[in-house]
Amino acid sequence: MTAASDFSGDTAASLSRRISSGETSSVNAVQKALERIARLEPRIKAFIKVENDDALEEARRADERIAKGERLPLLGVPVAVKDNMLMENRVATCASKILENFRAPYSATAVKKLRAAGAVILGKTNMDEFAMGSSTENSAFGPTRNPWNVETVPGGSSGGSAAAVAAGYCPISLGSDTGGSIRQPAAFCGVVGLKPTYGRVSRFGLVAFASSLDQIGPFGKTVEDVALAMNAIGGYDKMDSTSVDRPMPDLSEALKKDVKNFVVGLPREYFVEGVAPEVRKAVQGAADALAREGARIEEISLPHTEYAIAVYYVIATAEASSNLARYDGVKYGHRSGGGEGLEGMYSFSRTEGFGPEVRRRIMLGTYVLSSGYYDAYYLKAQKVRTLILNDFREAFKKCRVILTPTTPTPPFKFGEKTADPLQMYLSDIFTISTNLAGIPGICVPGGLSSEGLPIGVQMMAGHFDEESLITAAAAYERTRSFPSPKI
């Protein structure tokens, strides 16, 4: 089956044009997507649940809207959603046995906005359990595999969403990013991934991991696709107390601008020992390309970068310990038949329901919040978080965009880092600071390794300046072509 016949080579923008012009229908595009999923999923396993009947019904409704003359950028376009976002009366497992049979009582705001924009949701994608991981190896339902090489990981925790776009199932998907969980899988799967400013996209209906860090964002085949998705899901939501009430710009306009007045900062702390030479080369190539487009490249410093991993794994685990306390086997989720009394039921339910990585982080978080350790760990981490935020504020006085590696290495093989959690945590060393500071970041494909695996480059901008990110990323994207995996 070729890309021409199954639309797997289409971007969201090109597929939308084909559907709205009558060249094809949403039902046809979705049917072809479902056929491709059925053919490739035994190898890739990007989905936890494919909603075949619902997707075709949504596609029929989209075609009816088009027949009435309605035109929207995502109308009739198939998309996928990470399985930590609620869809009313549909399973929302967070890739955990503790929520294996949980059906959501309502839909997340981001899901509602996608549907209002006319997008057709194919199903719920696989992930690291409760978004805790960097490889999608922690899913209770088995790992997702990288479409570029099924022996390598797709990144995490949004590995299923990234793999779904890379595999050509859909041109857009939604993920969540707590410490790099959109940008790192985007890098590993050779797609574009955007983590918006904290508060730009509603978190209502997103199952919480670390509430001060979590943010929903899109994956896309191109920067334009990501801009279209952000236009649909961004904006204020009164149902989310952390949503910021400020206008959502049309990011499609940012695609048309150039970078001639941009200063692009290269932070010296991001080019340290341990960064693969091929990754360095890709970032330098991106800097050179932006310079040719008229940007000025300058070295900058983010001096507290070295503390980011430690700060993140104190704050994130503390918030996880608090957020995951609700899964006790009483009101919803898995309830064990073992154990004596209430405490025994709690213990057995949580031990059976949570995987080892989730249990590890709950224990770490409970420890740093415990009496006698709160000031030494959690309070100190919050103070250093402020120093990291101030580093970025100072940096953005000198530059418009910051350019860095997304990951220290190209995609690694399954099992390579599972025995050493610290090595796994270091996979996110270049993405974590963005979440701690609450600023937006984007990953764009930057080339292929000597083994033919994707390498991503990361750009960051100031709070609520997604426009600069889209402009810079699109300017870089125009200078090069990037292949798709041969699957």
* Model pLDDT for residues 368-389, shown as the tens digit of each residue: 999 889 999 999 999 999 999 9
> DSSP assignment, residue 152?
B
123 — alpha (psi -120 to 50), left (phi > 0) or beta?
A: left
**For residues 9-28, average pLDDT:** 97
List the one residue out of 58, 82, 62, 76 whose CA is nearest residue 173: 82
Within a domain: 442: no
Within a domain: 163: yes
Cβ atoms of residues 79 and 122 within 8 Å: yes
By DSSP bridging, strand 401-405 and strand 78-82 are unpaired
Same domain, 21 and 160: yes
- Secondary structure of 188-234 in HEC code, one letter for each residue: HHCCEEEECCCCCECCCCECCCCCCCCCEEEEECCHHHHHHHHHHHE
**For residues 74-95, average pLDDT:** 97
Same domain, 222 and 326: no
Same domain, 39 and 149: yes
Query: Per-residue confidence at 80, pLDDT binned at 50, 70, 90?
Result: very high
Same domain, 195 and 121: yes
Q: How far, in Å, CA of 291 to CA of 438, rounded?
A: 27
Of 326, 350, 381, which residue constitutes the final position of a domain?
381
Query: Per-residue confidence at 2, pLDDT binned at 50, 70, 90?
Result: very low
Within a domain: 50: yes
Is the pLDDT at 291 greater than 70, yes or no? yes
Alpha helices in 339-379 (DSSP H): 341-353, 356-369
Of 381, 415, 430, which residue constitutes the final position of a domain?
381
Q: Please, which residues have CB within 8 angstroms of residue 441's CB and are 6 or more apart in sequence?
A: 183, 194, 195, 431, 434, 458, 459, 460, 461, 469
**For residues 452-478, average pLDDT:** 98
Same domain, 51 and 174: yes
Q: How far, in Å, CA of 138 to CA of 412, rounded?
A: 15
pTM, rounded to two decimals:
0.96
Within a domain: 285: no
Same domain, 194 and 61: yes
Query: Per-residue confidence at 421, pLDDT binned at 50, 70, 90?
Result: confident
Q: Please, which residues have CB within 8 angstroms of residue 473's CB and are 6 or more apart in sequence?
A: 192, 223, 442, 444, 459
Cβ atoms of residues 302 and 267 within 8 Å: yes
339 or 102: which carries more pLDDT confidence? 102
The range of the structural domain enclosing residue 130 comes to 3-259+462-477
Q: Please, which residues have CB within 8 angstroms of residue 262's CB and are 6 or more apart in sequence?
A: 290, 294, 295, 296, 399, 400, 401, 468, 471, 472
Among the listed ranges 33-47, 287-301, 422-436, which one has the minimum average pLDDT value?
422-436
Is the pLDDT at 1 greater than 50, yes or no? no
* Owner of token pair 């932070």: 267
- pLDDT averaged over every residue in the chain: 96
Same domain, 57 and 129: yes
* Model pLDDT for residues 260-281, shown as the tens digit of each residue: 999 999 999 999 888 999 999 9
**For residues 437-454, average pLDDT:** 98
3-state secondary structure of 409: coil
Same domain, 242 and 317: no
Same domain, 237 and 377: no
Same domain, 254 and 320: no
Residue 52: burial class (beta carbons within 10 Å; 0-12, 13-18, 19+): middle
CATH of the domain at 95: 3.90.1300.10
Within a domain: 284: no
Same domain, 255 and 335: no
What percentage of the chain has pLDDT greater than the value 70? 99
Structure tokens at 274: 């341990």
Q: How far, in Å, CA of 6 to CA of 42, rounded?
A: 18
Structure tokens at 479: 């200078």
Within a domain: 449: no
- By annotation, the residues acting in catalysis are 82, 157, 181
Within a domain: 36: yes
CA-to-CA dists, residue 175 to 36, 104, 281, angstroms: 21, 18, 28
**For residues 242-247, average pLDDT:** 97
Give pLDDT, residue 267: 98
Backbone angles phi, psi at 24, to 5 degrees: -145, 180
Q: How far, in Å, CA of 432 to CA of 174, rounded?
A: 19
> DSSP assignment, residue 359?
H
Look at the chain and report how many structural domains it folds into.
Answer: 2
Within a domain: 316: yes
What percentage of the chain has pLDDT greater than the value 90? 92
Is the pLDDT at 307 greater than 50, yes or no? yes
Give pLDDT, residue 427: 87
Is the pLDDT at 3 greater than 50, yes or no? no
Same domain, 135 and 221: yes
**For residues 295-313, average pLDDT:** 97
Give pLDDT, residue 423: 85
CA-to-CA dists, residue 86 to 55, 83, 161, 323, angstroms: 16, 7, 15, 16
Of 338, 363, 381, which residue constitutes the final position of a domain?
381
Is the pLDDT at 338 greater than 50, yes or no? yes
* Model pLDDT for residues 201-218, shown as the tens digit of each residue: 999 999 999 999 999 999
Query: Per-residue confidence at 200, pLDDT binned at 50, 70, 90?
Result: very high
* Model pLDDT for residues 147-176, shown as the tens digit of each residue: 999 999 999 999 999 999 999 999 999 999
Is the pLDDT at 404 greater than 50, yes or no? yes
**Neighbour-count burial for 315-346, b at 16+ CB within 10 Å, e otherwise:** bbbbbbbbbbeebbbeeebbbbeebeeeeebb
